[in-house]
């Protein structure tokens, strides 16, 4: 549905986006993740036809955005970083205007406007001027204008920015609902959002794509070694440490907390080696109490930091994992 | 076409939803009224002198003595008010980010520019519309010729169109309304006074400067003369400015 090939965008001497490629399948929700200034907004602006790319190609809903911009735009809904509202218009007037320039047939406009106002929960503010809305409402009116012509592709630049927690949950649910019949790209730097709403993630840093994968796979691929978190009740934690270290496959054991009879242990083993059974039986057979045993997963936050602070961000993820 | 109308309506709505439209129309009306009274007194005196046979001119023509100078005076009002109409057209959209909505909608640049131009032009026509009342008074109590009045209005509409299209272009160059307003005003004034030095220059330069002067072309319109030379000047001025605006909007995309 969306195909980006070797896209490069330069502003004078600065390169905002450098040779990025990715595809989004129909009905998929793709998360676009990156620190501020990574090139997220630039990429989205190129995809929506707001600005042309310096090099490369972008195909949206089957139309090249540079060759057939009007056809591509007709099928794209876009929520920019700041919702593009006219302060002196009422919400209803504004949405009527947008539906008109997006090519919604005259007969359907009224019902479409009513429908999207209800879906985005702004109907109670229909007669309020856009300039008098709170940040949360502005954001949702912005979302309403993006979906008003029922576009095949939705491009949302930080759709939950400025919303309160309840509104964030509602908006995420709305995005998930839309995900079925719309293809969505959303950018964010709120990481839980990605794991909750997106099927796939593109991590971008300094204009380069550093990783493309599902949130789960990313977590798994980035773990260089497996770490188990254990809580064990035993008379001597030093004995436990020794016993755990002697298990084949275990590379190191650290004891972050050894006060009292209950101590916590972090057991590292080589990548892909599952030592949970051996760990459990070693503890139990020694007569100690196994209170907790769970794998420590790298959170998306850590992955993100890891990927975006590496100086050689261009290297593919797999290689970095091996180096660790 | 529908898109142009949509943009024009949006522009008009935002003018009338904010104080801009009322202030522009209201204060122009006050100024026009003042000019009108002034010229009316002058005309009155001239008419009395003529009637009293005190060696004044023959009969006084209301079109020549009152209406034509009045139309010329309107151009002074335009000089100050039209920059206020155009300065926000693009600058405001750029500043508030709504330009992103327009440029990512299935509209061509030309449709956006034309929509904005007609929006401004209609507001300006409404401003001129108020003056119809004064003309009505003249027609009720005197008997002016109506043809020079019509051509005068046509001339004013075209001259205003020139100012508006140029203002639109200047507004498309900057995010800052004040900058747009000031430059527009300076450019208008330049086109206004450009032939002031013409009496000191060579005949060729004089002809060129007179041709460039935007008000010089209005003269014939106010006297009821429809000359294609002036029509061509105004229409090509408007077309060229609008063309520049389209290019400017397009180049904005490339510069990012």
B255 and A CB contact within 8 Å: yes
The string of pLDDT tens digits covering residues B48-78 is: 887 776 555 566 788 888 888 888 888 889 9
Tokens of A187: 């950018």
Q: Which of A248, A244, A246 minimizes the C-alpha distance to A236?
A: A244
Q: Are A210 and A258 in contact (CB under 8 A)?
A: no
Q: Which residues of A touch B101 (CB under 8 A)?
A: 78, 80, 84, 98, 145
Q: Are A254 and A312 in contact (CB under 8 A)?
A: no
B18 and A CB contact within 8 Å: yes
To 5 degrees, how large is the angle CA A220–CA A223–CA A227?
110
Q: Are A120 and A170 in contact (CB under 8 A)?
A: no
CA dist., res. A316 & res. A322, Å (int): 11
Q: How many helices (H) and strands (E) does chain A have?
A: 12, 14
**Which chain A residue's Cα is nearest to B251?**
A51
What burial class does residue B68 get, using C-beta atoms within 10 Å of its C-beta: 0-12 exposed, 13-18 middle, 19+ buried? Answer: buried
| 3-state secondary structure (DSSP) of residue A11 | strand
CA dist., res. A276 & res. A284, Å (int): 12
CA dist., res. A75 & res. A62, Å (int): 10
B175 and A CB contact within 8 Å: no
CA dist., res. B219 & res. B16, Å (int): 32
Neighbours of A161 (CB within 10 A): 16
Helix axes A91-101, A106-119, angle to 10 degrees: 130
pLDDT of residue A313: 42
Q: B26 Cβ partners below 8 Å, 6+ apart?
A: none
Q: Are B20 and B119 in contact (CB under 8 A)?
A: no
Which of A50, A76, A86 comes nearest B14 by C-beta? A86
CA dist., res. A101 & res. A216, Å (int): 40
**Which chain A residue's Cα is nearest to B253?**
A51
CA dist., res. B48 & res. B30, Å (int): 27
CA dist., res. B161 & res. B216, Å (int): 15
To 5 degrees, how large is the angle CA B81–CA B87–CA B90?
150
To 5 degrees, how large is the angle CA A58–CA A64–CA A68?
145
Q: Which residues of B179-216 are buried (b: 16+ CB within 10 A; e: fewer)?
A: ebbebbbebbeebbebbeebeeeeeeeeeebeebbbbb
Tally the domains of chain B. Answer: 1
Q: Are B128 and B157 in contact (CB under 8 A)?
A: yes
Beta-bridge partners for A269: A226, A250
> Residue ranges of chain B with pLDDT lower than 70?
53-59, 255-256
Tokens of A77: 């809904």
Range of the domain at B163: 2-255
**How far does the CA of residue B113 sit from the closest CA of chain A (Å)?**
14
* Residue A82 to residue B108, Cβ atoms within 8 A: no
**Which chain B residue's Cα is nearest to A87?**
B14
pLDDT of residue A124: 93
Q: Which of A5, A20, A10, A13 minimizes the C-alpha distance to A204?
A: A20
Neighbours of A279 (CB within 10 A): 24
CA dist., res. B223 & res. B210, Å (int): 18
* Residue A84 to residue B106, Cβ atoms within 8 A: no
Task: Name the DSSP letter for residue A130.
Answer: G
Tokens of A119: 């879906």
Which of A71, A73, A93 comes nearest B105 by C-beta? A73
Q: Which long-range contacts (CB under 8 A, 24 or more apart) does B75-81 make?
A: B75/B156, B75/B159, B75/B192, B75/B215, B75/B218, B77/B28, B77/B31, B77/B32, B78/B156, B78/B159, B78/B160, B78/B163, B78/B188, B79/B163, B79/B185, B79/B188, B79/B189, B79/B192, B80/B185, B81/B24, B81/B27, B81/B28, B81/B127
Q: Which of A4, A63, A65, A1 minimizes the C-alpha distance to A28?
A: A1
Q: Are A4 and A22 in contact (CB under 8 A)?
A: yes
Tokens of A138: 């502005």
Mutate to test the interface with A, among B2, B96, B99, B101 (most CBs of A within 10 A): B101
ipTM of predicted assembly, 2 dp: 0.86
Residue in this structure with the two tokens 């008074």, named with its chain if needed:
B137
> Residue ranges of chain A with pLDDT lower than 50?
311-324
The whole-angstrom distance between residue A2's C-alpha and the CA centroid of its chain comes to 17
Q: Are B175 and B94 in contact (CB under 8 A)?
A: yes
Task: Sketch out chain A's domains with CATH numbers.
Answer: 2-217 (3.40.50.300), 224-296 (3.30.70.3190)
Q: Residue B210 is inside which H or E element, if any?
A: helix B203-212
């Amino acid at each position: 549905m969306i195909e980006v090939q070797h896209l490069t965008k330069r502003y004078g001497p600065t390169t905002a986006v450098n040779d990025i490629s990715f595809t989004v399948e129909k009905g998929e929700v793709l998360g676009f993740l990156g620190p501020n200034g990574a090139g997220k907004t630039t990429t989205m602006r190129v995809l929506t036809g707001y600005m042309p790319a310096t090099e490369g190609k972008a195909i949206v809903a089957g139309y090249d955005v540079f060759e057939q911009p009007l056809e591509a735009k007709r099928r794209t809904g876009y929520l920019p970083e700041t919702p593009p509202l006219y302060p002196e218009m009422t919400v209803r007037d504004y949405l009527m205007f947008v539906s008109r320039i997006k090519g919604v047939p005259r007969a359907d406009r009224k019902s479409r406007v009513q429908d999207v106002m209800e879906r985005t929960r702004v109907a109670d503010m229909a007669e309020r001027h856009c300039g008098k809305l709170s940040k949360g409402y502005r954001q949702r009116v912005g979302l309403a204008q993006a979906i008003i012509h029922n576009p095949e592709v939705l491009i949302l630049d930080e759709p939950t920015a400025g919303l309160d927690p309840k509104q964030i949950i509602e908006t995420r649910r709305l995005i998930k609902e839309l995900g079925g019949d719309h293809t969505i790209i959303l950018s964010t730097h709120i990481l839980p959002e990605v794991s909750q709403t997106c099927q796939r993630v593109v991590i971008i840093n300094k204009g380069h794509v550093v990783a493309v994968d599902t949130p789960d796979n990313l977590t798994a691929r980035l773990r260089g070694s497996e770490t188990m978190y254990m809580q064990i009740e035993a008379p001597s934690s030093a004995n436990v440490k020794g016993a755990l270290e002697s298990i084949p496959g275990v590379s190191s054991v650290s004891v972050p907390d050894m006060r009292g009879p209950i101590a916590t242990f972090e057991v590292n083993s080589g990548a892909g080696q599952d030592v949970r059974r051996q760990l459990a039986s070693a503890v139990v057979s020694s007569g100690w109490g196994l209170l907790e045993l769970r794998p420590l997963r790298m959170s998306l936050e850590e992955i993100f930091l890891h990927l975006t602070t590496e100086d050689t961000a261009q290297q593919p993820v797999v290689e970095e994992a091996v180096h660790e | 076409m529908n898109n142009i109308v949509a943009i024009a309506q949006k522009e008009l709505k935002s003018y009338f939803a904010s104080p801009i439209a009322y202030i522009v129309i209201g204060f122009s009306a006050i100024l026009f009224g003042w000019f009108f009274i002034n010229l009316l007194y002058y005309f009155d005196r001239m008419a009395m002198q003529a009637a009293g046979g005190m060696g004044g001119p023959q009969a006084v023509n209301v079109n020549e003595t009152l209406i034509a100078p009045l139309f010329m005076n309107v151009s002074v009002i335009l000089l100050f008010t039209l920059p206020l109409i155009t300065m926000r057209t693009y600058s405001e959209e750029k500043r508030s980010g709504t330009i992103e909505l327009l440029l990512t909608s299935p509209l061509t640049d030309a449709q956006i520019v034309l929509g904005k131009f007609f929006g401004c032009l209609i507001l300006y026509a409404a401003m001129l519309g108020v003056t119809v009342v004064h003309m009505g008074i003249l027609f009720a109590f005197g008997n002016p010729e109506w043809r020079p009045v019509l051509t005068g209005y046509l001339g004013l509409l075209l001259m205003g169109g020139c100012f508006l299209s140029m203002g639109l272009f200047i507004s498309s160059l900057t995010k800052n309304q004040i900058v747009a307003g000031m430059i527009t005003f300076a450019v208008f004034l330049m086109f206004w006074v450009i032939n002031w030095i013409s009496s000191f220059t060579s005949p060729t330069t004089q002809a060129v400067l007179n041709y460039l002067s935007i008000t010089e072309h209005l003269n014939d319109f106010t006297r009821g003369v429809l000359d294609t030379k002036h029509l061509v000047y105004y229409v090509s001025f408007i077309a060229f400015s609008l063309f520049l605006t389209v290019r400017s909007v397009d180049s904005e995309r490339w510069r990012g």
